Amino acid sequence: MRTVGYHWHLRELMAQRGMFHTSDLVPHLAERGIEMSSSQVHRLVSGVPERLTLKVFAALCDILQIEPGELFEPYAVERSRRKVVGIEPPPAPSGGESPARRPRRARILPEDP
């Protein structure tokens, strides 16, 4: 089974630009025609959004002057079919490495009598 996810870097990118409060985004979004309450913006910044309109995504890229790949970093992980409790997905790979290593097939040899 293949599990997909993504890393959301909005909070870090805001901090790099001196925006340390979620409310700092509200006027910038409003300038681009996007009206969001402070609680909606807080959830957008502090959490990982499940749904996001492309208009909001494009506005965030414009506000922060970034490319989409800097804000949103997808990853895929091969998973076994058994569910293991307490295991988190690994961090996104860097440099194009495969996120999951495949095990090497075992060879079973007959025992010597």
Q: What is the CATH number of the domain that holds 27?
A: 1.10.260
Q: Name residue, tokens 């097939």.
A: 105
Query: 97 in a domain, yes or no?
Result: no
Query: 64 in a domain, yes or no?
Result: yes
User: How does pLDDT run across 1-60, given as a tens digit for each residue?
Assistant: 888 999 999 999 999 999 999 999 999 999 999 999 999 999 999 999 999 999 999 999
What pLDDT, on the 0 to 100 scale, is given for residue 109? 80
Query: 56 in a domain, yes or no?
Result: yes
* CA–CA distance, 27 with 7 (Å, rounded to integer): 25
Query: 28 in a domain, yes or no?
Result: yes
Query: 82 in a domain, yes or no?
Result: no
Query: 62 in a domain, yes or no?
Result: yes
Query: 44 in a domain, yes or no?
Result: yes
Average pLDDT (104-113) is 78
Q: In terms of pTM, does the model score above 0.85?
A: no
* CA–CA distance, 75 with 3 (Å, rounded to integer): 8
SS3 103: coil
* CA–CA distance, 98 with 39 (Å, rounded to integer): 37
User: How does pLDDT run across 61-108, given as a tens digit for each residue?
Assistant: 999 999 999 999 999 988 776 665 666 666 655 555 455 667 777 788
Instruction: Report the domain count for the chain.
Output: 1
Range of the domain at 43: 2-72
Looking at the chain, which runs of residues are DSSP E strands? 2-8, 72-78
Query: 54 in a domain, yes or no?
Result: yes
Residue 73, phi-psi category: left (phi > 0), alpha (psi -120 to 50), beta (remainder):
beta
DSSP 97: -
